[in-house]
Structure 1
Amino acid sequence: MVSDRHALLGGSAAGFVVDIALFPIDTIKTRMQSKQGLRSLGLSDLHKLKGVGAAAVGSMPGSALFFLTYEHVKRMNPGGGITQHMIASSLGEIVACFVRVPTEVVKQRVQAKLASSSWAGLRDTIAHSGLRGLYVGYGTTVMREIPFAAIQYPIWEKLRAAYNPEGSGWKSGVFGSIAGAIAGGVTTPIDVVKTRIMLSTTNEGAVTVIKQLHSEGLSAFFKGFSARIGWLSIGGFVYLGTYQTVIELFT
């Protein structure tokens, strides 16, 4: 079983590597899901990586908290199977979102050109909505992360147990890629709602956003689908491959 120290180390490394490496793809997805759309926001400034500072600040502690919780719950009932993996990953996401959501709010507002930098995004959000503004969309984010994790991690664990008993990092990454793509596709509509809420300048709630998306047509709920699938497929490989590799290095 993975110790708390190893979970913290592996989680921190995995979060940092995946968020920084895949930041451009994440920016494309965010712009596709925004009201303005990718055509309006464009890609000419993609190389500037605006918002990457917020991603870097939140990636390590958020991921570390997830894996700390995930592995701790798994140790409570070794061999608990799919149900335990679903519970452990869901609890891990709830805890991690306390760190992840504020950085996600700031990052996405910069990505959608609602702020010029991570610092400006943080300052403007607090000035406009107070500290509560940093947690706008928390509930929707958790609603997205729980089904995503409940799908991804049981698949990942099942594939690892069947085809990767030796704990190979690259195999873990391959299985993470498969699991991430499946989970990402299923939860795209919730991700679109979450993005719109976080980008709202009038503190729109989930019901209002869903009505707006409905008025745009069913396809609006799947904006950024291809980018999300690509991001989570590659991200699953990098994220869970890095996690397993670090665990093996320090075990």
Structure 2
Amino acid sequence: MTQQQISLPAKLINGGIAGLVGVTCVFPIDLAKTRLQNQRSDQQVYRNMMDCLIKTVRSEGYFGMYRGAAVNLTLVTPEKAIKLAANDFFRHKLSKDGSRLTVFKEMLAGCGAGMCQVIITTPMEMLKIQLQDAGRLAAQQRKLAVLPAMKFGAGNALLSCSYSGGPAPVLRVSATQITQELLRTRGIQGLYTGLGATLMRDIPFSMVYFPLFAHLNNLGQPSEMEKAPFYWSFISGCMAGCTAAVAVNPCDVIKTRLQSLKKSTSEESYNGVVDCISKIMQKEGPGAFLKGASCRVLIIAPLFGIVQVVYILGVGEFLLGQSPYNLYTS
């Protein structure tokens, strides 16, 4: 079988559009995940995802759920484009004469994709986390402010007012201001804080996700030369994303903690991945590494289901006047 050449520009377009569509749909859940992962057990502001979203809307308004969305939507286009196109590129290079890849080579292609994407993922999530977590810090300060009053019997009324009295004053800082401050104080490496933890998360994620998606998607193909139906690709993306998300959630917790620059007075700082793991184990126990896991599943499952469907549609090939090509059918 003659191996068909892939069009890298078309794959980049597909990945960019897929990322924009997917992130727009699931961003509020991503905000809840960040806030749940960052809160400490002894300073609990949100009980669960729904409680976080409800309190966010009450205290910051509807658009509070989209804090950090602008930077994410801006950078998710190159991020998802690199991730998906790199996986296709490595699969293409590892495939001989269009033959089906072994599981090891599929994992190797996923590894390459995960390594490539962190160029954009690390600074994107570094900025996004600062913007997303500002509301949690403000809510925690309000809660701490009313604790002394609770001793005198006025706590319940004050606590309820803190979430129902309209949008609360949350410090509005833009991604541009954060970037300028990081570059001024830490240089370019400031934007890549948590790079090691990001690699720890994204490489295993891609090594699990891409091979699993390929095999699940192949189960829905009528024949070797036909694509699986769109609904089957969506289900396959959801199932593979869900599995990979749970597998790497501890790494995501570590990454989120390391990339959160602003902390309350009683929250500890971390000096690298090992120090972060050690302090979380000592002070919060192993259960802390599963914080935000349900949110992460609700983000990644539909996100990658949507992403794969949009990606397989071949919008990039259509715009460039090329015939669509899907490596997962080879």
Question: Normalising by the residue count of structure 2, what TM-score does the alignment of the two structures yield?
Answer: 0.70
1:66-111 deviation line (CA, Å, top 9, x unaligned): 2222111111214223222211111112111101111110001110
Mapped to 1, the partners of 2:220 and 2:80 lie a distance apart of 25
1:14-37 deviation line (CA, Å, top 9, x unaligned): 111112221111100000011457
1:137-188 deviation line (CA, Å, top 9, x unaligned): 1111111111111111111000111213424333211100000001111111
Name the structure 2 match of 1:34.
Answer: 38
SS in 1 for 2:219: helix
Mapped to 1, the partners of 2:179 and 2:12 lie a distance apart of 26
126-135 or 176-185, larger mean C-alpha shift: 126-135
Mapped to 2, the partners of 1:211 and 1:54 lie a distance apart of 31
Does the alignment pair 1:20 with 2:20? no
Does the alignment pair 1:206 with 2:273? yes
Does the alignment pair 1:229 with 2:297? yes
What is the total number of aligned residue pairs between the two structures? 251
Structure 1's consecutive aligned runs of 4 or more residues displaced over 4 angstroms after TM superposition are: none
Mapped to 1, the partners of 2:113 and 2:121 lie a distance apart of 12
Name the structure 1 match of 2:70.
Answer: 53
In structure 1, give the amino acid aligned to 2:203: I
SS in 1 for 2:106: helix
Listed as ranges, the gaps of 5+ residues in structure 1 are none
SS in 2 for 1:163: coil
Does the alignment pair 1:4 with 2:5? no
Name the structure 2 match of 1:43.
Answer: 56
Name the structure 1 match of 2:212.
Answer: 155
In structure 2, give the amino acid aligned to 1:174: I
1:185-206 deviation line (CA, Å, top 9, x unaligned): 1111111001001114566311
* Root mean square deviation of aligned Cα: 2.2
Does the alignment pair 1:98 with 2:166? no
Q: Residues 50 and 117 of structure 1 are in contact (CA less than 8 Å); yes or no, is this contact kept in structure 2? A: no
1:92-136 deviation line (CA, Å, top 9, x unaligned): 121111011111100011100176332233233333322211001
1:203-240 deviation line (CA, Å, top 9, x unaligned): 63111211221121111111101101111111121111
Mapped to 2, the partners of 1:35 and 1:122 lie a distance apart of 24
1:249/1:172 Cα in 2 relative to 1: closer, same or farther (>3 Å)?
Answer: farther
Mapped to 2, the partners of 1:80 and 1:90 lie a distance apart of 14
1:21-64 deviation line (CA, Å, top 9, x unaligned): 21111100000011457726852336231111110121011111
Q: Residues 20 and 55 of structure 1 are in contact (CA less than 8 Å); yes or no, is this contact kept in structure 2? A: no
Mapped to 2, the partners of 1:193 and 1:184 lie a distance apart of 14
In structure 2, give the amino acid aligned to 1:170: Y
In structure 2, give the amino acid aligned to 1:142: L
Q: Counting helix residues as a fraction of each chain, which structure ranks higher? A: 1
The structure that has the greater radius of gyration is 2
